[in-house]
Amino acid sequence: MSDKIKAVDSEMVIARVHELMAEGKASSAKAWTPVKIVDTIEEEFGTEPATVAFQYLVDNYGVL
């Protein structure tokens, strides 16, 4: 995505988080990391969506 989203669409961000988790599990490492997910969300969508992704991971997976 070349344009960063202006308003946070939480459902879209959470869906992308789940995609990234699945990609991580399917990788040779067989794992995902919250830092990589949040960094990817920030690169793709910007700071505010990255904050949404981080909070989602903390609230639902207990990761920090």
Q: Is residue 33 part of a domain?
A: yes
| 3-class DSSP state of 25 | helix
Residues 25-59: tens digit of each pLDDT:
999 999 999 999 999 999 999 999 999 999 999 99
Asked whether residue 26 is assigned to any structural domain, the reply reads: yes
Query: Could you count the other beta carbons within 10 Å of the beta carbon of residue 51?
Result: 15
Question: Quick check: is 56 in a domain?
Answer: yes
The answer to whether residue 3 is domain-embedded is no
**Confidence grade of residue 63 (pLDDT, cut at 50, 70, 90):** confident
Report the number of distinct structural domains present in the chain. 1
In the chain, the amino acid numbered 50 is A
Quote the domain boundaries for residue 34.
10-61
* pLDDT tens column, 5-31: 455 789 999 999 999 999 999 999 999
pLDDT of residue 8: 72
- 5: in domain: no
